[in-house]
RNA sequence: GGAGAGAUGGCUGAGCGGUUGAAAGCACCGGUCUUGAAAACCGGCAAAGGGGCAACUCUUUCCUGGGUUCGAAUCCCAGUCUCUCCGCCA
């Protein structure tokens, strides 16, 4: 959410900034609504003041007039609320503005590679895809999932299920023990307030799994733990001393993936449900860029330990998420695709989410300001499993266990059939 | 599922129809004192929105939404959430 005062003041630059995000914004209409809204507010406040004066005077002769004024106020309020609603609708659908160093471009082709790390595996045979490997091992079962649940689900079985759990535990251990994140085991269902706070609502309702309850308030399966972890500070005025706050959680994530019907239909790249270890930082706005680098390092640190090759890219203005002002994607090497694939996405959201959530802190001058929020995957567990399968595969279809994971896997050397 | 109690500022907690945006305490900020710190004392300290270059000023807000009233934190209705007790259950 943007500050409407800032928009008003710098309408031209705002128009330009928002156009860099490739969304439509009718600025003249917006300004008109804003102007009308403020005009009505002024009318209303004048009447309210009058009414207040009468009530204070306790002059019975004026009581009738006060009643009349009340009616007028009601009318104006209704009208004004309509304008306010329209303004809020527009405002809440506008994405965050990108920082200056973010490459401008309409899609992922404008993303920029920042660094490459690790050496690509050199197979003496044709590497198989993760789903071939998994199915041959009889440890990934897509057909069974189709039977029990439908498309875009998977059964992970036996030692591969163990490996998935090991990955998750390993990541959490690193983030809590080395990276100073606090472990959280959160609810997997979020209220619409929370979904609004992080920016999933109102614009991306179609991507969410909504839970049907009898009550009026809507609930959603979390698409990422970011929703819950970030909303920890919703409606709060924090003590500056409590910053930064860092949270990590490993949770299932649920996504409808509406509009991705043709994409990644084979395998477990794109599922309705997957595990992800999520990092969230709540920080002083001055420290947010530093924190973004730190968070990204926390994510790549996991890949370093797993000895998986990856690259780091910065997303272009058109490819960034709704709430982000700057995003790094970490892409891991997938031999079967001969390409890199997203395994983590780390974003600074600046005050964008904080404004929606009303998350503030008192600074040294005793002024309240909005905190900055950051989130990143550290990492997507399902995709890490995929990356290990493919990068650590042997010619006979068995999978070597990365050294760092062995303690989490009863020190076995490899996973093979039976 | 049944029966009660409650929801007030960053926090604790008074107020229960008329300058109450809200006592008191804590926390926080500034000052005096001190070699420094602590203690003590003095002062400041809610948010959002509107108007104004600014000083400043106006409006709204005591869980949410309705209602009563000239006037509501205070009264009425509905809802949400929290706590206690009983029942049931991972």
| Residue pLDDT, tens place only, A198-227 | 999 889 999 999 887 766 678 899 999 999
Q: Which nucleotides of B are covered by protein (CB under 7 A)?
A: 9-10, 18-19, 27-29, 44-51, 58-60, 70-71, 79-81
Q: How far is the CA of A172 from the C1' of B44 (A)?
A: 45
| Number of Cβ within a 10 Å radius of residue A68 | 11
Q: Do the beta carbons of residue A330 and residue A299 sit within 8 Å?
A: yes
pLDDT of the residue at A57: 82
* pLDDT mean over A96-112: 96
* pLDDT mean over A171-188: 95
> Could you give the CA distance from residue A198 to residue A218 in angstroms, rounded to a whole number?
16
pLDDT of the residue at A414: 96
- A49 contact to strand B (CB, 7 A limit): yes
Nearest to A181 by CA among A172, A190, A193: A172
Asked whether the predicted pLDDT for residue A158 surpasses 90, the reply is yes
- A52 contact to strand B (CB, 7 A limit): yes
Assign A322 a pLDDT band (cuts: 50, 70, 90).
very high
Asked whether the predicted pLDDT for residue A10 surpasses 70, the reply is yes
The structure tokens listed for A122 are 């050199």
Asked whether the predicted pLDDT for residue A108 surpasses 90, the reply is yes
Asked whether the predicted pLDDT for residue A247 surpasses 90, the reply is yes
User: Closest nucleotide to residue A60 (Cα to C1')?
Assistant: B70
- A360 contact to strand B (CB, 7 A limit): yes
User: Closest nucleotide to residue A65 (Cα to C1')?
Assistant: B70
pLDDT of the residue at A115: 95
- A367 contact to strand B (CB, 7 A limit): yes
pLDDT of the residue at A215: 63
Average predicted confidence (pLDDT) for chain A: 93
pLDDT of the residue at A301: 98
- Counting other chains too, the contacts that A268-271 makes at CB distance below 8 Å and 24 or more residues apart are A268/A130, A268/A131, A268/A134, A268/A140, A268/A142, A268/A154, A268/A382, A268/A385, A268/A386, A269/A341, A269/A383, A269/A386, A270/A152, A271/A152, A271/A153, A271/A154, A271/A382
H/E/C letters for each residue in chain A? CCCHHHHHHCHHHHHHHHHCCCCCCCHHHHHHHHHHHHHHHHHHHHHHHHHHHHHHHCCHHHHHHHHHHHHHHHHHHHHHHHHHHHHHHHHHHCCCCCCCCCCCCCCHHHCEEEEEECCCCCCCCCCCCHHHHHHHCCCEEHHHHHHHCCCCCCEECHHHHHHHHHHHHHHHHHHHHCCCCEECCCCCEEEHHHHHHHCCCCCCHHHCCEECCCCCCCEEECCCHHHHHHHHHCCEEEEHHHCCEEEEEEEEEECCCCCCCCCCCCCCCCCCEEEEEEEEEEECHHHHHHHHHHHHHHHHHHHHHHCCCEEEEECCCCCCCCCCCEEEEEEEEECCCCEEEEEEEEEECCCHHHHHHCEEEECCCCCEEECEEEEEEEEEHHHHHHHHHHHCECCCCCEECCHHHHHHHCCCCEECCC
- A239 contact to strand B (CB, 7 A limit): yes
Asked whether the predicted pLDDT for residue A38 surpasses 90, the reply is yes
Beta bridge mates, A211: A219
- A29 contact to strand B (CB, 7 A limit): no
* pLDDT mean over A315-328: 97
Q: How far is the CA of A99 from the C1' of B60 (A)?
A: 35
Assign A62 a pLDDT band (cuts: 50, 70, 90).
confident
- A334 contact to strand B (CB, 7 A limit): no
pLDDT of the residue at A64: 86
Q: How far is the CA of A235 from the C1' of B47 (A)?
A: 11
pLDDT of the residue at A216: 65
- A3 contact to strand B (CB, 7 A limit): yes
- A417 contact to strand B (CB, 7 A limit): no
Percent of chain A with pLDDT over 70: 98
Q: Do the beta carbons of residue A312 and residue A296 sit within 8 Å?
A: yes
- CA dihedral A383→A385→A389→A390, nearest 10 degrees, is 20
ipTM of the complex: 0.87
| Number of Cβ within a 10 Å radius of residue A395 | 11
User: Closest nucleotide to residue A66 (Cα to C1')?
Assistant: B70
The predicted model scores a pTM of: 0.93
Q: How far is the CA of A217 from the C1' of B14 (A)?
A: 34
* pLDDT mean over A186-195: 90
Report the range of poorest mean pLDDT among A265-269, A301-305, A339-343: A265-269
Asked whether the predicted pLDDT for residue A16 surpasses 90, the reply is yes
pLDDT of the residue at A226: 96
Asked whether the predicted pLDDT for residue A364 surpasses 90, the reply is no
User: Closest nucleotide to residue A42 (Cα to C1')?
Assistant: B50
Residue A215 exposed, middle or buried by CB count within 10 Å (0-12, 13-18, 19+): exposed
* pLDDT mean over A344-366: 92
* pLDDT mean over A53-62: 84
Highest mean pLDDT among A11-15, A182-186, A292-296 belongs to A292-296
pLDDT of the residue at A37: 95
Closest residue to B44 (CA, C1′)? A366
> Could you give the CA distance from residue A320 to residue A96 in angstroms, rounded to a whole number?
9
Q: What are phi and psi of A51, to 5 degrees?
A: -60, -40
Q: How far is the CA of A215 from the C1' of B1 (A)?
A: 17
Percent of chain A with pLDDT over 90: 80
* pLDDT mean over A233-237: 91
> Could you give the CA distance from residue A410 to residue A313 in angstroms, rounded to a whole number?
35
Kindly report the CA angle at A372 between A367 and A376, in degrees rounded to 5? Answer: 165
Nearest to A283 by CA among A234, A344, A226, A240: A240
Dihedral sign, Cα of residue A320, residue A324, residue A325, residue A328: negative
Closest residue to B51 (CA, C1′)? A42
* pLDDT mean over A31-49: 94
């Amino acid at each position: 959410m943007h500050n409407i005062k800032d928009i008003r003041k710098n309408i031209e630059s705002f128009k330009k900034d928002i156009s860099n995000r490739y969304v439509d914004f009718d600025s003249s209409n917006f300004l008109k609504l804003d102007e009308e809204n403020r005009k009505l507010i002024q009318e209303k406040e004048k009447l309210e003041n009058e009414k207040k004066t009468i009530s204070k005077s306790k002059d019975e002769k004026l009581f009738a007039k006060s009643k009349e004024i009340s009616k007028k106020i009601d009318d104006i309020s209704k009208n004004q609320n309509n304008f306010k609603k329209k303004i809020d609708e527009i405002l809440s659908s506008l994405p965050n503005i990108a920082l200056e160093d973010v490459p401008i471009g309409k899609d992922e082709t404008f993303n920029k590679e920042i660094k490459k790390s690790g050496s690509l595996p050199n197979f003496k045979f044709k590497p198989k895809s993760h789903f071939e490997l998994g199915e041959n091992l009889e440890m990934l079962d897509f057909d069974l999932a189709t039977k029990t649940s439908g498309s875009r689900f998977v059964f992970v079985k036996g030692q591969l299920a163990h490996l998935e759990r090991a990955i998750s535990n390993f990541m959490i251990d690193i983030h809590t023990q080395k990276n100073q994140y606090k472990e959280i085991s959160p609810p997997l269902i979020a209220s619409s307030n929370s979904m609004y706070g992080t920016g999933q609502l109102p614009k991306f309702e179609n991507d969410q799994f909504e839970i049907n309850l009898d009550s009026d308030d809507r609930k959603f399966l979390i698409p990422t733990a970011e929703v819950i972890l970030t909303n920890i500070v919703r409606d709060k005025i924090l003590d500056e001393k409590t910053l930064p706050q860092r949270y990590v959680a490993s949770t299932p994530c649920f996504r409808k993936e509406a509009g991705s019907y043709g994409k990644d239909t084979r395998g477990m790249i794109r599922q309705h449900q997957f595990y992800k270890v999520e990092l969230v930082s709540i920080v002083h706005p001055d420290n947010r860029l530093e924190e973004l680098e730190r968070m990204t390092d926390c994510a790549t640190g996991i890949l370093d330990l797993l000895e998986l090759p990856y690259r780091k890219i910065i997303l272009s203005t058109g490819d960034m998420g709704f709430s982000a002002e700057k995003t790094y994607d970490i892409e891991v090497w997938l031999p079967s695709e001969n390409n890199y694939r997203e395994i983590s996405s780390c974003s600074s959201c600046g005050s964008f989410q904080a404004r929606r959530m009303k998350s503030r802190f008192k600074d040294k001058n005793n002024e309240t300001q909005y905190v900055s929020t950051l989130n990143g995957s550290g990492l997507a567990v399902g995709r890490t499993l995929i990356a290990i399968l493919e990068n650590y595969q042997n010619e006979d279809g068995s999978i070597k266990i990365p050294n760092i994971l062995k303690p989490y896997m009863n020190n076995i050397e490899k996973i093979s059939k039976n």
